[in-house]
Structure 1
Amino acid sequence: MTTTKKPFGLTARIIIGMTLGIAIGLLLQLLMGKSGDFTLNLGLFEFSFKAFFVDGIFEIGGQIFIASLKMLVVPLVFVSLICGTCSLQDTTKLGRIGGKAISLYMVTTAIAISFAMFMAFIFAPGEGVNMTTSTTFEAKEAPSLAQVFIQMFPTNPFAAFAQGNMLQVIIFALLFGIAIALSGEAGSRVAKMFEDLNVVIMRLVTILMNLAPYGVFCLLAKLFATMDFSVFLNIFAYFMVVFVVLIIHGTVTYSVLLKVLTGLNPLTFLKKMRDAMLFAFSTSSSNATIPVTMETATKKIGANNAISSFTVPLGATINMDGTAIMQGVATVFIAQVFNVDLSITDFLMVILTATLASIGTAGVPGVGLIMLAMVLEQVGLPVEGIALIIGVDRLLDMTRTAVNVTGDCMVTTVVAKSEGQLDESVFENENAGRKIEEIDFHHLKQ
């Protein structure tokens, strides 16, 4: 009797893809050297390693993978949130869930940036750094808090879908779901259609998850083939402070909150987060990781879809703990580089600004630098200092995105537990959700 069972689970395959990607990327960087390319003269033409591998295969494979994940975000959030809203018998419950989620997200962000600034002040990564006057950074204008709240409500929902504006999609989905719930028989028929759509979309998520090791390989191979390690070495102290704070916040802070608020085992939770964290690390995008995060929250952790369909996309939009940590350390770092003394008022202003700025921050790579510019301006620090940290921000962006999605699932678990919407038998089952990850592409009828 033959079996089609794969020798490795999804997590193992993703780790293999990551490891091979990093190794091949570093090998290519060694081959290309300072010139940034390695060519072979084959007579009629020259073969360029950079053009063929870095800008060709790896770029195409990585971007197709990212595009495929982003393709699912809007339909997944829209359909799942409608299903979740329709299942709520009491609309006041929706406000209670939202209040709990937003409060937890804001609290964890404030804890993150406060701890980050404390660590940066203790270890002083910016002392002794020689600032050059040629360093520049042109910051985009950050939206005001009033604009953020106004722009939460769509004037054209189809434009919100096309632009991937998650807050607007969430608002429209909530209103649409409430309207369905209040529409009697007609609403029931429409709700059934959305429930079927949700099953199909989640299966599509599973298909993409099985292709993830190849996408992860391409993304990391290109990143490590083109990374400027000389810049990385110059600000190693800054990098290490941010990295250590991210790890502590993602493991210790979330674990303590989970244990105190739910009594659940934090180690079980972190084990179940492995796939989502690996996806987030590879893509550097909370939004692109939403499909995997929702799959983890519902199928592996046991949160009801009525909760996760709201808290996960909301978290991808407003929960930026990792970004807040980067902003806290970077603010202290840049102040030390420019020999600017920050007062207690300045520290409090940074904490408040960064916490509020996380609302409406897009869950896409690199957006933290834009928000950092706003934070620096609030306390009178030169925005040009951001150019010092751009070189290592890509690596840190990967790590802080993994922290962000872990926070999304932690808050989802806490809210689900408080509402009696958490299946603890699923949470305690180590193999929960593993079966759905396996797809036999040779036999589509399953």
Structure 2
Amino acid sequence: MSSDQSSNLTRRIVTAMVSGILLGALLQWLMPNGKDFVIPLGLFDFSLRAFLVDGIFEVVGKIFIASLQMLVVPLVFVSLICGTCSLKDTSKLGKIGGKAVGLYLITTAIAISFAMTLAMVISPGEGVNMAADTTFASREAPSLAQTIINMFPSNPFAAFAEGNMLQVIVFALLFGIAIALSGQAGERIAGIFEDLNVVIMRLVTILMNIAPYGVFCLLAGLFTDLSIETFGNLIVYFMVVFFALVIHGLLTYPILLKAFTGLNPIIFLKKMREAAIFAFSTSSSNATIPITLETATKKMGVKNSIASFTVPLGATINMDGTAIMQGVATVFIAQVFNQDLTLVDYLMVVLTATLASIGTAGVPGVGLIMLAMVLEQVGLPVEGIALIIGVDRLLDMTRTAVNVTGDSMVSLVVGKSEGQFESDTYHNLDAGKDIENIDFHHLKD
């Protein structure tokens, strides 16, 4: 998706969000407190609520939500396998791969833990008390030990059918590593999954293109029965996510860089500026890979042998910005629907979102599909996504900039630890200045 297409989709979704809210507010004025607006037409009475709210809005909205859920299993499974197949070099599967994957997962765990803590302290969804469509029966929380045991499937096909995403993730990781270690046979199978990944990404693009219609119907239906005061909670949610993203990008990464390498983090942030701006404009880590690679090698001095491995890998598995959104959104939706989460539930969210970040493709809109998975994992209503989807495109740009910043930070740490790093290039503020003159518009993800 080009930057122009991405901006157009953003405008369409924001327009749909505003239009849906305004129409919902108008319908609420016509039908306060859940009442109906009936127009007598002689032979029959026309019910505005039955035709619009319980008819068109509910049907289109639920189809859109079902479409998000439909993509969860194939997207995670295929993306994960494609990501682990990139570890085909056995030497990279060892020390370098371990360092990169470990750092990516650590930063993701830090991101979502901080985001959830911030959300629990600020409580952006407190006081809304919306009713979910589904009746939730109380359930006994499994122990942490049992949760870990349950991650490993005895029947992977049953895990696919039941949507048990932790088991799907574990099986996909093991299957992907087996493919990477299977020589020519593995390469042939990997090619099939790469083609499948292209097809699924196209399906995601199709879904995102019809997202404005789903957003319009979901929000129009919600705001028909939702007080306008609740919109203030959505603004608080937006600010919590945005604040967490800024803190993670401008504080967490520089602190980790200083701790692991001793390098000046101010220089790092200055040299990341152009790549971060491009990532912000495209909302796509994949589209930014060429720019991130040029930044890591020509501006920061990481050897290409390291950066060519860590940057594409990061675009696949490093989704700290998405994890922050998922953490805050989970707490927000739980508060909105007045659902209590146990400590094990919160740990499950951290674990699921951290592992799911490995399978989150670097294209716009996929984070919402992953959020549907996280919500289902802890028994929260997926329709809560309707509350945040309108502002998500605005946050998506920021979290993509955070993600590519993390890719470069990990590349620096791994490169310096392996002796594949040029200190003079890093400290030269004029290094790689020609990158700023690259024509970005021809790049696609």
Partner of 1:244: 243
Deviation at 1:435, TM superposition (A): 2.9
Deviation at 1:33, TM superposition (A): 9.1
Q: Deviations over 1:172-224 (max 9, x none)?
A: xxxxxxxxxxxxxxxxxxxxxxxxxxxxxxxxxxxxxxxxxxxxxxxxxxx9x
Q: Is the 8 A contact 1:148 1:360 kept in 2?
A: no
Task: Identify the match of residue 168 of structure 2 among 144, 154, 160.
Answer: 144
1:380 to 1:436, Cα distance in 2 relative to 1, 3 A: closer
1:133 to 1:104, Cα distance in 2 relative to 1, 3 A: closer
1:349-428 superposed matches below 5 A: 349-428=348-427
Within the alignment, does 1:299 sit opposite 2:298 as a pair? yes
Partner of 2:207: none
Question: When the two structures are superposed, what TM-score results if normalisation uses the length of structure 1?
Answer: 0.61
Unaligned runs of 5+ in 1: 1-13, 37-76, 86-90, 166-222, 441-446
CA distance in 2, matches of 1:311, 1:146: 21
Deviation at 1:133, TM superposition (A): 5.5
CA distance in 2, matches of 1:418, 1:102: 15
1:38-187 superposed matches below 5 A: 92=91, 95-129=94-128, 131=130, 144-150=168-174, 152=176, 153=179, 155-163=188-196
CA distance in 1, matches of 2:383, 2:435: 48
| Secondary structure, counterpart of 1:144 in structure 2 | helix
Partner of 2:262: 263
| Secondary structure, counterpart of 1:127 in structure 2 | coil
Amino acid at match of 2:295: T
Q: Is the 8 A contact 1:294 1:312 kept in 2?
A: yes
1:439 to 1:93, Cα distance in 2 relative to 1, 3 A: closer
Deviation at 1:129, TM superposition (A): 2.8
1:125 to 1:314, Cα distance in 2 relative to 1, 3 A: same
Deviation at 1:92, TM superposition (A): 4.1
Q: Is the 8 A contact 1:298 1:308 kept in 2?
A: yes
Q: Deviations over 1:262-299 (max 9, x none)?
A: 11111110111111111111111111111111111101
Deviation at 1:321, TM superposition (A): 0.6
CA distance in 2, matches of 1:439, 1:401: 20
Within the alignment, does 1:312 sit opposite 2:311 as a pair? yes
CA distance in 2, matches of 1:33, 1:124: 27
Greater displacement, 369-378 / 275-284: 369-378
| Secondary structure, counterpart of 2:301 in structure 1 | coil
Deviation at 1:343, TM superposition (A): 1.8
Deviation at 1:360, TM superposition (A): 2.2
Partner of 1:172: none
Unaligned runs of 5+ in 2: 24-81, 135-161, 180-185, 199-210, 224-230, 440-445
CA distance in 2, matches of 1:319, 1:307: 16
Q: Deviations over 1:323-370 (max 9, x none)?
A: 110111011001100111222111111111111111222111111111
Within the alignment, does 1:272 sit opposite 2:296 as a pair? no
Q: Deviations over 1:121-148 (max 9, x none)?
A: 011000133636679xxxx965811342
CA distance in 1, matches of 2:253, 2:111: 10
Deviation at 1:150, TM superposition (A): 5.0
1:439 to 1:266, Cα distance in 2 relative to 1, 3 A: closer
CA distance in 2, matches of 1:439, 1:343: 50
CA distance in 1, matches of 2:107, 2:19: 43
CA distance in 2, matches of 1:359, 1:387: 25
Amino acid at match of 1:354: A
CA distance in 2, matches of 1:301, 1:360: 28
| Secondary structure, counterpart of 1:126 in structure 2 | coil
CA distance in 1, matches of 2:399, 2:104: 15
CA distance in 2, matches of 1:317, 1:134: 34
CA distance in 1, matches of 2:19, 2:125: 29
Alignment length (residue pairs): 312
Q: Is the 8 A contact 2:132 2:381 kept in 1?
A: no
1:357 to 1:436, Cα distance in 2 relative to 1, 3 A: closer
Q: Is the 8 A contact 1:241 1:329 kept in 2?
A: yes
CA distance in 2, matches of 1:290, 1:102: 17
Partner of 1:431: 430
Deviation at 1:159, TM superposition (A): 3.6
CA distance in 2, matches of 1:126, 1:234: 6
Q: Deviations over 1:152-179 (max 9, x none)?
A: 33544444454557xxxxxxxxxxxxxx
CA distance in 1, matches of 2:356, 2:372: 11
| Secondary structure, counterpart of 2:359 in structure 1 | coil
Q: Report the aligned-residue RMSD.
A: 3.9
Q: Deviations over 1:199-258 (max 9, x none)?
A: xxxxxxxxxxxxxxxxxxxxxxxx9xxx98999866110000000000000110001000
Question: When the two structures are superposed, what TM-score results if normalisation uses the length of structure 2?
Answer: 0.61
Amino acid at match of 2:259: V
| Secondary structure, counterpart of 2:285 in structure 1 | coil
Deviation at 1:94, TM superposition (A): 5.6
CA distance in 2, matches of 1:267, 1:346: 38
| Secondary structure, counterpart of 1:358 in structure 2 | helix
1:278 to 1:354, Cα distance in 2 relative to 1, 3 A: same
Greater fraction of residues in helix:
2
CA distance in 1, matches of 2:194, 2:328: 35
1:386 to 1:434, Cα distance in 2 relative to 1, 3 A: same
Within the alignment, does 1:342 sit opposite 2:341 as a pair? yes
CA distance in 2, matches of 1:291, 1:106: 23
CA distance in 1, matches of 2:321, 2:293: 19
Amino acid at match of 1:272: K
Sequence identity, in percent?
63
